[in-house]
A and B are shown apart, each in its own frame.
Chain A
Amino acid sequence: MKSLPEITDKVKKNLIWKSVFRRDYRNTVRDRAQAVFGNVFLHLHPVQVRESAVKLRFTWGMGGITLFAFIILVITGVVLMFYYHPSIDQAYTDIKDLEFQVPFGVILRNLHRWGAHFMVIVVMIHMFRVFMTGSYKAPRQFNWGVGVILLVLTFLLSFTGYLTPWDQLGFWAITVGTNMGAATPLLGYQGPFSEYLHITPYNDVRFALLGGAQVGGNALLRSYIWHCVAIPLVATILMMVHFWRVRKDGGISKPQK
């Protein structure tokens, strides 16, 4: 029988382990720093942070919670994509299959649905916190702007996801929502001044959103691609900018007088 140190020694002192973990962790100043900047995920953080900046009562962890909700949604969303066809013949039955055939399909869909509601809630609270601590003030003005765009993208992500089950709820929510596009001044066929641009139901904003004059197969495909590819892509890029700028603008805000 080998002792525990001997086993750990065996596990750690070989080429494979050493190729993955470059150094041993010894809880020295150097190693604690190395643990952060030597790790692609953790190196989002600075090596050291100000004590009160990371207290829960200051940030509520709300931005981080939003990111975490986004990650949950990406993971559950990718898995859901394996079971889903964005066509009006199959979309609804695919969701029914999730409910009755796919192992853990119900909880998968539940996680995605409630995670989405949750993300919308926490991103709004995050904005409220940033406002209340005045963290949009110099030098963080630009990053507030990035955050506002991310807030809008969060709404749009949720909104485009509404249609995907192709049930009455999604269909009519999207109908109500995109009807607003028809009211756009100049560019929507019901909007003011649109007659001067010869705008009709077949060439206005709403038509562009839906890929048709009403919610149908094209609208489903469009919302699916916006939902699963286009908006997440843009949001991810903006998130990179957002987090990068938090660091570059001096980290989590601190009292400046």
Chain B
Amino acid sequence: MNPFIEIITQPDNIAIVIMVIMVSFYMVWAFQQAFQNDRLLAAGLPVDGENDRFIDTFKPLVRIELLIALVVMVGLTVWSILVDAPLEEIANPTLTPNPAKAPWYFLGLQELLVYFDPWLAGVVLPSLIVVGLLAIPYIDINPKGNGYYTFAERKWSIIIFSFGFFVLWLLLIVIGVFFRGPGWLWYWPWQEWDHSRVVFEPTRDLTALIGIESRSLPGFIIGAIVVGSYMVGGMIAPYLYWKKNNPELLTQLGMIRYVTIIFLFITMMSIPIKMVLRLVFLIKYVWITPWFSV
């Protein structure tokens, strides 16, 4: 069988195919409504729901809920009749499968292990995702776009959230499920998995580019300067930009909010940056310390 068909029809992967279809569908629906509302707002017209009348819960809403419940129940039943949940061999601690994959919704995090050490990819970054999500209502001080789809009124928050949600979370999951084979090597869907394949990819550390041993003191100092200037520079640059172009925004945000937003943002952006460093420049570590490496 075609390896691609084989991968997407694996029982557990059908869920991911369903996820891709559902997420794409709702993404289009959300943005379509957002743009539609933007046109209404631009024309000074009320968006849907602004001048609303009340209807009885019983039965209009209860009817919708019952119908949705029926559709979901029928859908899950059909899915359960057509596809059997797999049961592999009994657990065997002496036989490690290759690749050993985490549950599919954590594969984005497992994918990060290519670019970061486990303490970052597996602990710090996931914790920061949760913290960042919790912080959203408190750091987004834009009063507009409350209770209706819109893009124009909250461009940046939607762009940043969508980048995190669709690219860093969902796309990495899809990559982890469909494009990662033995040894966590990249396999195109039409490629056969080869368990004996070894890719020798000499990686180096950032300071090696200028000929300095990364584990030496000068390497440590240069690494610290690079990481430090990314964090400090990333912290200061937006401040200077807004100070010049939009000082009002800075006053509105205040110190704590500003620091939180920028810290979360530069941490998030460090992921694609490190990916490029690793994939394009074959750089493994930017900064090596005796305790941890970045």
Residues of A whose CB lies within 8 Å of any CB of B are 29, 32-33, 35-36, 42, 45-58, 60-62, 64-65, 68-69, 72, 88, 92, 95-96, 99, 106-107, 109-115, 117-118, 120-122, 124-125, 127-129, 131-138, 140-141, 144-145, 148, 151-152, 155, 158-159, 162, 165-173, 175-177, 179-185, 188, 190-193, 214-215, 253-257
Contact = CB atoms under 8 A, between A and B. Distances in A.
B55 interface: yes
A131 B150 CA distance: 11
A180 B154 contact: no
Contact of B65 (A61, A109, A151): A61
Given A57-B29, A88-B91, 15 more contacts: A32-B56, A32-B57, A52-B49, A61-B68, A114-B15, A114-B79, A131-B158, A166-B91, A171-B92, A173-B101, A173-B102, A176-B100, A191-B119, A193-B292, A255-B47
A138 B88 contact: no
B80 to A, nearest CB: 4
Interface in B106-161: 106, 109-110, 117-119, 121-124, 130, 133-134, 136-138, 140, 143-150, 154, 158, 161
A183 B150 contact: no
Given A48-B55, A57-B29, A128-B165, A111 B77 contact: yes
B19 A159 contact: no
A231 B88 CA distance: 26
Contact of B90 (A127, A135, A166): A166
A169 B86 contact: yes
Contacts of A42: 57-58, 62
Q: Is the interface of A mostly helix, strand, loop or mixed?
A: helix
A117 B33 CA distance: 27
A185 B88 contact: no
A56 B105 CA distance: 27
B83 A114 contact: yes
B89 interface: yes
B97 interface: yes
B76 to A, nearest CB: 6
B105 A115 contact: no
B61 interface: yes
Contacts of A162: 103
Contact of B123 (A95, A168, A180): A180
Nearest to B30: A132
Q: Chain B interface: which size bin? A: 35 or more
A190 to B, nearest CB: 7
A180 B146 CA distance: 38
Q: Is the interface of B mostly helix, strand, loop or mixed?
A: helix
B72 interface: yes
Contact of A110 (B57, B84, B148, B161): B84
Contact of A113 (B18, B85, B119, B154): B85
B2 to A, nearest CB: 23
Contact of A168 (B89, B124, B149): B89
Given A49-B61, A114-B15, A148 B134 contact: yes
Nearest to A155: B105
B48 interface: yes
B21 to A, nearest CB: 10
A61 B22 contact: no
Given A92-B91, A140-B137, A175-B100, A114 B124 contact: no
Given A88-B91, A121-B15, A107 B81 contact: yes
A111 B83 CA distance: 10
Given A92-B90, A141-B138, A215-B93, A51 B123 contact: no
Contact of B149 (A92, A133, A181): A133
26 contacts: A45-B61, A50-B49, A50-B55, A57-B33, A58-B48, A61-B65, A62-B26, A68-B68, A110-B79, A110-B83, A117-B104, A122-B22, A133-B147, A136-B140, A137-B137, A145-B137, A155-B105, A159-B106, A168-B89, A175-B100, A177-B106, A180-B122, A181-B123, A184-B123, A256-B147, A257-B50
Interface in B179-228: none
A115 B77 CA distance: 9
B26 A49 contact: no
A65 B122 CA distance: 30
Contacts of B68: 61, 64-65, 68
Given A58-B49, A136-B136, A184 B119 contact: yes
A10 B192 CA distance: 71
Contact of A188 (B60, B84, B119): B119
B18 A107 contact: no
Contact of B26 (A88, A125, A158): A125
